[in-house]
Amino acid sequence: MQLQYTVLYCLKQLEGERTVSSIYYLLKGKRSSQTLQDGNMFHLSFLFGVYKSLRRHNYDKQIETLLNAQLITCVHENTYILTEAGEKQINEWEKIFYFPKHLHGLQYGELGESFWKRLSLIIQTVSNLQQQCVKFLPIQQDTEITIWVKRFIMSSSVSRGHLAKQLYKEINFILMNVTSIEATIFVYRLTGYHRIGYTTDQLGDMMKQDAFRVYLLFWGTIHFIIQHVQHHKQQFPLLTQIIAYPNEKADLFSISTQKTYQLWKQGRTMEEIARIRKLKVATIEDHIVEIALREKEFEVEQFIEKEKMKQIQNMIEKLQTRKLRILKQAAGEHVSYFEIRLVLARVGGLHEA
């Protein structure tokens, strides 16, 4: 049910301006310029990459179920809007399946995964060492994570016992700021001495909750911890260290976009970058749109005159649409698709919060 609510919510935000495939790519966390821009324009970035394991055939089944239940209707190929029954249903489901307040897949997704892997392995390791157990199967198999955790524990200037107490103190204090169900999910996910952490499916069965909802609540809690610690670093010295992530800024962009951005900062033109990277100019345009979307300091005026930018903004407001084809037809030949996408990236679409 949580997934059906999520799909309905996304369809309501899209208002028939994108296909259902755009929602699938968003939930999977596809780092394309189009997906990132859609997330920004339709205020869905918080759901970016929250369901990476979603299979296409399972997703299509959800669409079919919503269609058969007459909660959505097809407006054109692969594009749907909510019916009156769908609007009523989403309002009812919102009370049960509302999204965690601090969940933000795009902003904290990668950082959250790194933090959780480090924290869960630290807790498992310290818990076992406290019981004089040095042989155990690490809950995390990522080599980079295991090396980091080993260094973290070895470089600690305090005893293992003090480390355990301080970590408990910080986590316990921060969990007092979340709901009891969120705190319970977080704690049960942890692995310790002679104790294996529960999976989200197991927790769903135990709590009689939708497994995907448990998953969202868990990551919402992780994202809250990161935000809270980043604003109160002095209160959480250990968690601040564990959260620290060297490539946090770089990870905002796809790898290919990072390469384009580096060349652009060297003073290369789009045509030169395309030639150097052996890519189409249209692909470089995609990268520039992605940079404009994520880097608020990036000056789009170097690609579009201010007056033309203002004209496009007025056109967007007048037509009340974010469909590129409709905007291009209205703008005429003197405005390119690239320029329209740049403006959409900068203004964030309609009704920006």
> Which of 223, 226, 220 shows the shortest CA–CA distance to 244?
226
DSSP string, 220-277: HHHHHHHHHHHH-GGG-HHHHHHH--TTTTGGGS-HHHHHHHHHHHTT--HHHHHHHH
Smallest Cα–Cα separation from 143: which of 155, 135, 151, 153? 151
Segments forming the whole domain that contains residue 288 = 251-347
- pLDDT per residue over 286-319, tens digit each? 888 888 877 777 888 888 888 888 888 888 888 8
pTM above 0.85, yes or no: no
- What's the token pair of residue 134? 């040095």
What are the Cα distances from residue 316, in Å, to 105, 176, 235, 307, 333? Answer: 27, 45, 46, 14, 17
In a domain, 87, yes or no: yes
- Integer Cα distance of 99 and 144 in angstroms: 32
Looking at the fold, whether 165 and 202 belong to one and the same domain comes out as: yes
Q: What is the pLDDT of residues 197-225, one digit of tens each?
A: 999 999 999 999 999 999 999 999 999 99
Whether residues 90 and 32 fall in one domain: yes
Query: Are 173 and 120 found together in one domain?
Result: yes
The pLDDT averaged over each successive group of 10 residues in the chain (353 residues) is: 95 92 94 84 92 94 95 92 95 95 92 94 92 87 90 82 92 95 96 92 94 96 96 93 66 74 88 92 88 79 85 84 82 86 71 36
Looking at residue 246, its pLDDT comes to 56
As given in the structure block, the two tokens for residue 232 are 């109160």
Query: On the CB side of 344, how many CA atoms lie within 13 Å of its CA?
Result: 28
Six token digits for residue 327: 């905007």
Q: Is residue 309 part of a domain?
A: yes
Alpha helices in the chain (DSSP H): 2-14, 20-28, 33-41, 56-68, 84-97, 105-130, 143-154, 160-175, 180-189, 200-207, 211-231, 237-243, 255-265, 270-277, 281-294, 306-319, 324-331, 337-347
Please report whether residue 173 resides in a domain: yes
Over its C-alpha atoms, the chain yields an Rg (Å, rounded) of 23
Residue 305 maps to a domain: yes
User: Which of 170, 163, 172 lies closest to 125 in space, CA to CA?
Assistant: 163
- Residue 290 near residue 45, CB atoms below 8 Å: no
Residues 225 and 127 in one domain: yes
Residue 48 within a domain: yes
Distances in Å between the Cα of 61 and the Cα atoms of 57, 200, 276, 348 are 6, 22, 43, 31
Residues 109 and 231 in one domain: yes
Q: What is the pLDDT of residue 254?
A: 67
End-of-domain residue from the set 218, 243, 268: 243
Q: 261 and 268 in contact (C-beta within 8 Å)?
A: no
Which position has the token pair 């990459």?
49
- Tally of domains in the chain: 3
* CA atoms within a 13 Å half-sphere pointing along the CA-CB vector of 295: 17
H-helix or E-strand spanning residue 348: none
Last residue of a domain, one of 182, 217, 243: 243
Q: What is the pLDDT of residue 248?
A: 46
pLDDT value of position 348: 62
